[in-house]
Amino acid sequence: MPIPTESIGSIPRPATLVEAILQSQTGLITPETLQERYDEALRDTLQRLEATGSPVLTDGEQTKPSFATYPLSGLTNLAPDGVVIPFADGHTRQLPRLTAGPFRYAVHARSFLEKAATLTRRPLKQAVISASALSLLYPQEPIPGYPREAFLADLIDEAEQDIRGALDVGAATVQIDFTEARLSLLLDPSGGLLRSFIALNNQVLDRFSPEERQRIGVHVCPGGDHDSTHSAGVDYASLLPDLFQMHAGRFYLQMASEPDRPRVLRIVRDLLHPHHTVFIGVIDPITPAIETPEQVRGRVLEAAAILPLHQLGTTDDCGFSPFADDRSTSRETAFAKIKARVEGTALAARTLGL
């Protein structure tokens, strides 16, 4: 039995694509030319992921503006002055604000999967944004004629459709990006906000069968944008007990950059249910140094000494470029790190006699 290994999702976009996106915003290139650049980047990403030996591929989020806002592209009932997410280095990201109802996704994740599936025969993983992240679009002041309760009902329907659509068109796994989980504890150390997020996401997950939920996972990390994080100082011990109340079958956990991995792994071990698979991060996308396969093997063996082996997988701590304009990590570095994860995981499996 090999140890499963999967990418989190995003890969840095080629410079030609980033430039094309900027040019399209000012009308310097046509939509057709931009689409050509998207197609080139997607094809190259899948080919290079195949070359790393990755058993499960992603589209690298090449055609998404960001991991969080892809459903909003083209919506007209949004204003730019929504919730601000601060990062440790001082830069920020800002979500839009919903101005009117009803709320509908303009783009669903299945469209990305369908395109990628025409370019590879390997299994594909699809990342989707959490309902809790998009719940932040609703403003503090109620929208006339569209109360928050109506918005949440629409949001839950759309989030279900996003996941179900990806499963229906053949996703091997679907990963819910829940990076606001750790951030919520920075904003509300009592855990009330976190628990409200988890309850909302569980309303989505409960619409799937137990068998379907085995293919649905949740990813948490302290953020990773322009080589900075938004919540790395939040202790996993305050997050994990609530996180493992989510009705998912898979958990993708940032771990490579944790200062005391054995402590966190022991917490995870005590929270595991028999149907859970835990993918631990063995690659740190923020550090420029490329891990060696031997380093990865060591991290896997460290985890295997604590967690049940049949419930263990490996991943990256976070995506390499969650926002399209993030070029802090080079494309070459990202693929080299992924290759090290794949090879190091295989080394560990052989060491363990699998």
- State the SS3 of the chain: CCCCECCCCCCCCCHHHHHHHHHHHCCCCCHHHHHHHHHHHHHHHHHHHHHCCCCCECCCCCCCCECCCHHHCCCCCEECCCCEEECCCCCEEECCEECCCCCCCCCCCHHHHHHHHCCCCCCEEEEEECHHHHHHHCCCCCECCECHHHHHHHHHHHHHHHHHHHHHCCCCEEEEECCHHHHHHHHCCCCHHHHHHHHHHHHHHCCCCHHHHCCEEEEECCCCECCECCCCCCCHHHHHHHHCCCCCCEEEECCCCCCCHHHHHHHHHHHCCCCCEEEEEEECCCCCCCCCHHHHHHHHHHHHCCCCHHHEEEEECCCCCCECCCCCCCHHHHHHHHHHHHHHHHHHHHHCCC
Q: What's the pLDDT at 1?
A: 63
pLDDT along the chain (354 residues), means of 10: 92 94 91 94 97 97 94 96 95 96 97 96 97 97 97 98 98 97 96 98 98 98 93 95 98 96 98 97 96 98 98 97 91 98 98 96
Q: What's the pLDDT at 327?
A: 87
Domain chopping of the chain, boundaries = 67-107+126-351
Please tell us whether the domain made up of 67-107+126-351 is placed in CATH 3.40.50.150: no
pTM of the model as a whole: 0.96
pLDDT of 334-350, one tens digit each? Answer: 999 999 999 999 999 99
Q: What's the pLDDT at 159?
A: 98
